[in-house]
Amino acid sequence: MTLRSQLLKGILEGCILSIISRQPTYGYELSIRLQEFGLSDVSEGSIYPILLRLQKEKLVQGEMKKSESGPKRKYYSLTTEGHEALKQFVHHWENIKRPVDKIIEKGEI
Amino acid sequence: MNAKAIIELNNEKREQLNEENLKYYEDMLVYIRLNTNKSEQQTEEVLLELLEHILQAQEEGRTAEEIFGKDPKTYCKEIIGEIPVENRKRQILFISSIILQFLAIISLTHGIIGFGLHYFFDLGSANTTFSIGSGIAILIIDVLIAFLFIIIIFKWLKNTVFKDDKKQKKWVEFLQVWAFSTFSIGLFVLVIYLMPNFGTTVSIPTIYFAGLGVFLYLVSFLIERKKRSIQLR
Task: Judge if ipTM > 0.90.
Answer: no
Q: How far is CA B17 from CA A54, A91, B8, B24, B161, in A?
A: 29, 43, 16, 10, 19
Provide mean pLDDT across the span A75-82. Answer: 94
Chain B touched by A43 (CB under 8 Å): yes
pTM across the whole model: 0.83
Residue A34 has a CB neighbour count (10 Å cut-off) of 20
Domains observed in chain A: 3-106 (1.10.10.10)
Q: What is the pLDDT of residue B210?
A: 94
Provide mean pLDDT across the span B184-209. Answer: 91
Chain A touched by B6 (CB under 8 Å): yes
Dist CA B166 CA B160 (whole Å): 8
Residue A108 has pLDDT above 70, yes or no: no
Provide mean pLDDT across the span B93-98. Answer: 92
Chain B touched by A79 (CB under 8 Å): no
Mean pLDDT of chain B: 90
Dist CA B127 CA B202 (whole Å): 10
Dist CA A65 CA A50 (whole Å): 21
What pLDDT, in 10s, does the model give residues B21-74? 999 999 999 999 999 899 999 999 999 999 999 999 999 999 999 999 989 999
Considering only alpha carbons, which residue of chain A is nearest residue B42? A52
Residue A48: its chain B contacts at CB < 8 A? 46, 49-50, 79
Considering only alpha carbons, which residue of chain A is nearest residue B64? A45
Residue B166 has pLDDT above 70, yes or no: no
Considering only alpha carbons, which residue of chain A is nearest residue B3? A64
B52 with A56: Cβ contact below 8 A: no
